[in-house]
Amino acid sequence: MKNNPFSLDFGAQPNLFIPRYTEQSKIVETFCAEHPSSHMFLITGARGTGKTVLMTSISHEIRDKRGWIYIDLNPETDMLNSMASQIYQSSKKRYPKLKFEISIKGIGVSLERDIKYSDIQTDLDSMIKTLDKHNVKLLVTVDEANNSNSVRVFANYYQHCLREKMPLFVVMTGLYKNIRALQNNRSQTFLKRAPHIDLTPLNLKRIGQKYMEVFKLNADDANEMAKLTGGYSYAFQILGYLVYESGKTKPDNTTIEEYRLNLEECSYDKIWEELSASERRVTAAIAQAKDNATVKEVREALNMDSNNFSSYQNVLIKSGLLSPVSAYGHINFCLPYFKGYVLQQSI
């Protein structure tokens, strides 16, 4: 049996996926412009919407260009020391003739022995300015950024690089609420000016085309299968994987039930857990309303004023749970089978 082209892994770029050409081109073209309008992009969306896949595609495109070095930082580590280590290692491989002048005894020795810098910012400044002298730009990616001290320190250093006009470019992904918490921190409000890419559902026609290619379906069957995903990236992978494993060309009732359970266990449980009690209450009221209910109907069921409800609605849209393209005045979930899942939690 051939290898399944679909993947169940979170956070890894699958062999088969739907590229987000518009978003990717916007970021790459901005960073590569002679006078970039921004040195940072923030990518937000619900779990499983393809944030990491988009970020990875961007990094792969840029790292293949002449005059760039690319590194990836873990937000749970000492990001500045990791940044120095990776700049050194990456530049040594890509530009072996490039030499750094730094304030410590020897960067190679210090990194190998895992000795902390006496002044990491001074050494990073020296390294990035050396890259700049050789017309080399630095791309840094940070996946699942949050409001931790390590991320705040890195963000402040990024702001310093902007002031000093150093060629540092950053792509961060994160859940909407985590990014918002970071931006609302008193010393990180400058991050509010960074452009956002809020990932919306994938184009169903593109999903249908992929299913058509893999399963040799006709257009109608492929489009019906695509509708089951609701444009949710992770759902596209799960449904394709399960149908492929079944040896059939279309999902039957057994496959659809397994698909629904997989969504709940691997994605929706975590999404629900991360909602506040008030957000769960609003989400439950939306689930209990009729399909395509009006905002007024849901708001009145909650006995909530317009301003208060709008704030919750905006958070749920930005978090990727509610559709941003519902007919004016109406409200709908955008994740497949999520309404039924919420109803189960509300029993």
| Residue (of 312, 308, 313, 318) closest to 330 by Cα position | 313
Look at residue 274 and give its three-state secondary structure.
coil
**Average pLDDT over all residues of the chain:** 91
Look at residue 70 and give its three-state secondary structure.
strand
Higher pLDDT, 208 or 102: 208
Residue 64 phi, psi dihedral angles, 5° rounding: -85, -5
Sign of the Cα pseudo-torsion (224, 230, 231, 236, in order)? negative
Higher pLDDT, 95 or 130: 130
- Give the N- to C-terminal CA distance of the chain in Å, as an integer: 43
Q: Which fold has domain 21-198?
A: Rossmann fold (3.40.50)
pLDDT at position 37, please?
A: 96
The mean pLDDT of 38-49, rounded to a whole number, is 95
Q: Which of 28-32, 184-188, 214-218, 331-335 has the lowest mean pLDDT?
A: 184-188
pLDDT at position 101, please?
A: 67
**And the tokens for 330?**
């109406």
Given a contact cutoff of 8 angstroms between Cβ atoms, the answer to whether 176 and 145 are in contact is no
pLDDT at position 116, please?
A: 46
Model confidence band, residue 112 (pLDDT cutoffs 50, 70, 90): very low
The mean pLDDT of 297-313, rounded to a whole number, is 94
What's the rounded Cα separation, in Å, for the pair 117 and 160? 18
pLDDT at position 9, please?
A: 79
Identity at 190, one-letter amino acid code: F
Q: Which fold has domain 275-345?
A: Arc Repressor Mutant, subunit A (1.10.10)
Q: Which of 33-37, 116-120, 341-345 has the lowest mean pLDDT?
A: 116-120
What's the rounded Cα separation, in Å, for the pair 215 and 332? 30
Reduce the secondary structure of 195-254 to three states and give it as a string: CEEECCCCCHHHHHHHHHHHHCCCHHHHHHHHHCCCCCHHHHHHHHHHHHHHCCCCCCHH
The mean pLDDT of 138-156, rounded to a whole number, is 96
Q: Are strands 293-294 and 330-331 parallel, antiparallel or unpaired?
A: antiparallel
Burial 54-89 (b: 16+ CB within 10 A, else e): bbbbbbebbeeeeebbbbebebeebbbbbbbbbbbe
| Residue count (the chain) | 347
pLDDT at position 100, please?
A: 78
Per-domain residue ranges for the chain?
21-198, 204-267, 275-345
Q: Do domains 21-198 and 275-345 have the same CATH topology?
A: no
CA dihedral 205, 211, 217, 218 (to 10 degrees): 0
What's the rounded Cα separation, in Å, for the pair 32 and 72? 19
Q: Is the pLDDT of residue 11 over 80?
A: no
Highest-scoring range by mean pLDDT, 86-95, 102-111, 329-338: 329-338
Residues contacting residue 79 through CB under 8 Å, at least 6 positions apart? 73, 142, 150, 151, 153, 154
